[in-house]
Structure 1
Amino acid sequence: MDQAGGPRPRGARPRGPVTACSRRGSLLSGRRRTAVRRSRGGDPGSARRAAIRARARHRADGAIGEFRRALDIDPTLPDAGNSLGLALMERGDADEAIQTLRAVIARHPDHTAARLNLGTALMQKGDLAGATAEYRELTRRDPTNAEGFYDLGLALKQQDEFDEAEGALRTAMRIDTALPEAPYTLGVVLWQTGRADEAAALFENALARRPRYADAHYMLGTVFRQQGDLERAVAEFRETIRINPASPEAHTSLGQALQAQHDGEGSAAAFAEAERLRKRKADAQAAVFAVNAGLQRLKRDDLAAAIARFRDAVRLDPDNAQAHFQLALALRRSGALVESRRELQAAERLAPHLKAPDSQP
């Protein structure tokens, strides 16, 4: 959520057989898995299945290695290339992800998931023009693809091309009557351009498609508050908090609405909770920075400084599994085995997939 103006529409979502099996089917049918076997001593289907297991355990590096092995066996496999690009995106290697996805599209121009993921990677890099070009090409090739039109509308909105964004989002709504993000994002566009009444109807449309859509409840409450309907605004903000209690913006907006209703006690409680959540969020972000700083110290073989940074991360955010995990590994290197085991147990409680290297199968 954006404090100044409500929640931002969600970014384009990565697509691919690994993360969206329920929508796109399994990675490859049994027939294709057999067909793509090669006599060069490898089974790309097995490599992909191993990658899926690795991704399911959140081991991105292992997944990337398996997808690379599948492509070494057969570089023409589009789904393996798309999944590799997706895994690289998740690891933060945007440049290599873009290169990989472009290679898939060069061989298979109609590979919808790869082009959608390429657009997402370009948006994450801030190349909105490049992403827009990919979404335009996708919708030209597949004029019934609702997600393509939704992502096109989102990219255009972020460039303040509101008229074109509206057209693309309305097309997405028409094609897929179950996609809640399309009416929600269109509502944000109309709200930003001074059409609050129309925006409210679209937020209600989004909620009809997904009743537990916290952002839509929040924006509907924002419209009601601006229109002076404080009772309905308070109800929407409370519903936002019920769905997403960790949103400081929702607590702030609730406090403002209650303050306007002269509910001093209620507004004070809401503002206090908003401040607590903001501090917690800031501490969590600082913990991530501390973990990264610790990893950098390890690269310089400064074990003591790395341990200090990892301890800072655990102190800032006791629920950060990576902080406990990296501290455990560093302590083990230092010989503090008892404390290392304690930190590893804490990491595994928070994220069961995390295992010390010698305990992995």
Structure 2
Amino acid sequence: MCGAPGETIAACTQQGSVAGAGPGVEVNQGGGKPAAFRPEGADARAREAYRRAREWQARGDADGALALLWQASGLAPGDADIQTALAEALERVGALDTAIEAWRAALAARPEDRKASRGLVLALVAAGRSPEAVTLARAAAEAAPKDADALFTLGLAQSEQDVEAALATLRHVLARAPDHTLARYNLALLLNRVDRRDEAIAELMRVIALEARPEANYALGVAWWHRGEAARATAAFQATIALEPRHAEAYHKLGVVRAAERDWDGAAAALRRSLALRPDVPEVHVSLARVLSASGDEAGARAQLAEGERLRQESEREHEARVWTALGSARLEHGDAIAALDAFRRALAIRNTYAPAHFQMGRALERLGDADAAEGAYTRARQLNPRLVRGSRTAPERVP
């Protein structure tokens, strides 16, 4: 959620989108340019996989959706919408280098796409490649000097490299377009990040006056809390919840504020509500453990601490498995099925119940001609996630 402490400005403006070369792309043995192999009916099957991926994302099955997006991307590597969706999904799991490749593919498929252009810049920033991001964003801004959005993207790119330059650029955007809510919101986040909280609060209040946005109220609550203004922070978090009743982070922060005021019952209620909305966040369990301990419930506190630690370790394992799976998928789409298979095995060594790794391993084994092993991998993926069903084929994938 935008406005969370420590979250980058880039993360608060782009919800991802990108692609990469997909299945059916192979690299010739001489290292030359990949040659596309398009099975019959590939476009229709790609759009169907893309449609199903969107449905699964809406239902909260991000892993299953990512597997489908890889499949769609391979069938239609020149489809900008598919590549954008793949890039967004890769960013969400932290596979930034692979996401960057996907953004480049999306932009190549649709050069005028501002979303893809901004997505590439922000992915580069998130990956620690700010100089390249600034170069790309500056070129785009210079090519369209009257485009406030292009200048805004430059400000975002500068935010991790030169804070003063980023502040100046964002103020320049607002001088041109005073109602540019995202520019003002990101200016406020940057001001808060460099401890210029009075200015940040003023900008956030202007954002809220322009448009009631839960993320702006949440960021305002964080700023007030850092200023030691508990009552104002509470009001801002409550306003966030009024706008977005399922805002788990706002309930968490509200619980922290109430705990600081020694309102143990109020704190526990807010933290339990946060966990009801998102039970998989380790930090909330730790916060609740502290509240329970302070109120005399040592057994409950120990249980919450244990659950928080379990979730932390599980989250780390899942993140590693996702990154290895994304890396293997990218290698598979570039024609290196052997390297891909190694990456999938690494993912499963970390978390053997990670269904997308089994599914992608099936694709790699199929590419290598081991039909029996591929079927076993697909079956295991389907057992772990019944939605992961291999699409029908009218032509086999080629072996690199």
Letter in structure 2 aligned against 1:14: T
Deviation of the 1:86 alpha carbon:
1.5
Q: Corresponding residue for 2:254? A: 220
How far apart, in 1, do the equivalents of 2:238 and 2:288 lie?
19
**1:258-337 alignment, distance < 5 Å:** 258-288=292-322, 290-291=324-325, 303=338, 307=341, 309-318=343-352, 320=354, 323-332=357-366, 336-337=370-371
Q: Corresponding residue for 2:374? A: 340
Q: Corresponding residue for 1:234? A: 268
**1:135-150 alignment, distance < 5 Å:** 135-150=170-185
Q: Corresponding residue for 2:117? A: 84
Deviation of the 1:277 alpha carbon:
0.3
2:209 is aligned with 1:209? no
How far apart, in 1, do the equivalents of 2:387 and 2:169 lie?
36
Deviation of the 1:279 alpha carbon:
1.0
Distance 1:56 1:353, change over 3 A: farther
- Please say which of residues 91-100 and 127-136 is displaced more in the overlay: 91-100
Q: Which of 142, 153, 157 does residue 106 from structure 1 map onto? A: 142
CA RMSD of the aligned region, Å?
A: 4.1
Q: Which of 51, 55, 60 does residue 84 from structure 2 map onto? A: 55
Q: Partner of 2:245: helix, strand, or coil?
A: coil
TM-score (norm 2): 0.66
Higher relative contact order (CA 8 A, sep 6+): 2
Show structure 1 runs of 5+ residues with no match: 20-46, 72-76
How far apart, in 2, do the equivalents of 1:109 and 1:16 lie?
25
Distance 1:279 1:157, change over 3 A: same
- Please say which of residues 144-153 and 50-59 is displaced more in the overlay: 50-59
Q: Partner of 1:342: helix, strand, or coil?
A: helix
How far apart, in 2, do the equivalents of 1:62 and 1:351 lie?
24
Letter in structure 2 aligned against 1:221: G
Deviation of the 1:319 alpha carbon:
5.8
Letter in structure 2 aligned against 1:259: S
How far apart, in 2, do the equivalents of 1:17 and 1:7 lie?
18
Deviation of the 1:230 alpha carbon:
0.4
Q: Retained in 1: the 8 A contact 2:131–2:161?
A: no
Identity %: 29
Q: Deviation digits for residues 294-323 of structure 1, max 9, x if unmatched?
A: 689999x894x8745532312423464653
Distance 1:51 1:333, change over 3 A: closer
Q: Deviation digits for residues 57-85 of structure 1, max 9, x if unmatched?
A: 559656643532543xxxxx4xx255234
2:13 is aligned with 1:14? yes
Q: Retained in 2: the 8 A contact 1:153–1:165?
A: yes
Q: Corresponding residue for 2:221? A: 187
Q: Retained in 2: the 8 A contact 1:145–1:175?
A: no
Show structure 2 runs of 5+ residues with no match: 19-75, 89-98
Q: Partner of 1:327: helix, strand, or coil?
A: helix
How far apart, in 1, do the equivalents of 2:161 and 2:210 lie?
28
TM-score (norm 1): 0.72
Deviation of the 1:170 alpha carbon:
1.6
Q: How many residues align?
A: 317
How far apart, in 2, do the equivalents of 1:16 and 1:288 lie?
18
